[in-house]
Amino acid sequence: MKVLITGANGQLGSELRRDLASGRTELGEIPAALKSAQVVGVDVAELDITDGPAVQQYLQNNPVDVIINCAAMTNVDGCEKELEVAFKVNALGARNLAIAAEAIGAKLIHVSTDYVFAGDGFSPYIEWDLVNPKSIYGKSKALGEQYVQTFCSRYFIVRTAWLYGYEGNNFVKTIMRVARKNGSIKVVDDQLGNPTNAVDLAHHLLKLAATEQYGIYHCTGTGICSWYDFASKIVELAGIDCQVNACTTEEYGSPTRRPAYSALDNMALRCTVGDEMRPWEEALTCFFENYTESEKA
């Protein structure tokens, strides 16, 4: 089996490459069909997914069995300022990969987000709930989902949320850096969701890749918390002497409308390949147990 990972240098792409190379994740063995897989990792320098002809040519010359699309513009505030770039990467990029995947008969795993929902609910969103994004980031990702469903017959759309990992930039690393620098941080406590360890997400993406159970999935850490709860736990586990103060979204003054409640329910996983996502506190504790001291500095 041959696997192509786009966005291969990011936190999720890096985790997938590591897991495929070792044959296991922190949660256990990867599917047998993938243990001897030939893995090709590309980032924008090797393949610009916004260039449709280039994507089609690349995959015609280098056919694969599975494409895992981890490439995305995830800077939520940046998307509001550069909506055309967000559209090109998050929507057209997904379309280009879907068309090319269909042409060579490859499976496409497309990673999406909780931001496709309005975020005004009071119970976790299920896969069949209607999308209604409020931000440019969410709208671009929702359109990317539509393109994947339209142009590819062998797709997995996997929505995740509040993702962090050993590589790349993320909320966990930002909180540690700011907490050490300032000794006091302010974090919103009126936005609720599911912190997700990239290890757990990668494990489930590989489980899905070995099947033909196509469709839409949610894949987030178990349990719901606020960004304030998440930040407080990060500071505690990192052993940083810092005061974590709660504030409202209005007090924080974010330029982008973010979901107030965007928790996801992993119903489709439970009904198919199984939901092994860890409680978010457990997954975060494991992250710190495996995060090297040089990285913590």
Q: At what angle do helices 11-22 and 198-209 cross, to 10 degrees?
A: 60
Please identify which of the residues 115, 137, 217, 228 carries the catalytic annotation. Answer: 137
Q: d(Cα 182, Cα 65) in Å, to the nearest integer?
A: 48
Sign for the CA dihedral angle at 45, 3, 173, 297 comes to: negative
Catalytic annotation present for 58? no
In whole angstroms, what separates CA 146 from the centre of its chain?
17
Alpha helices in 183-266 (DSSP H): 198-209, 227-238, 249-252
Give the pairing type, strands 66-69 and 2-6: parallel
Are 141 and 113 in contact, with CB atoms under 8 Å apart? yes
How many Å apart are CA 58 and CA 47, to the nearest integer?
Answer: 8
| Residue that the structure tokens 């199984």 belong to | 274
Distance separating the N- and C-terminal Cα atoms of the chain: 39
Active site residues: 137
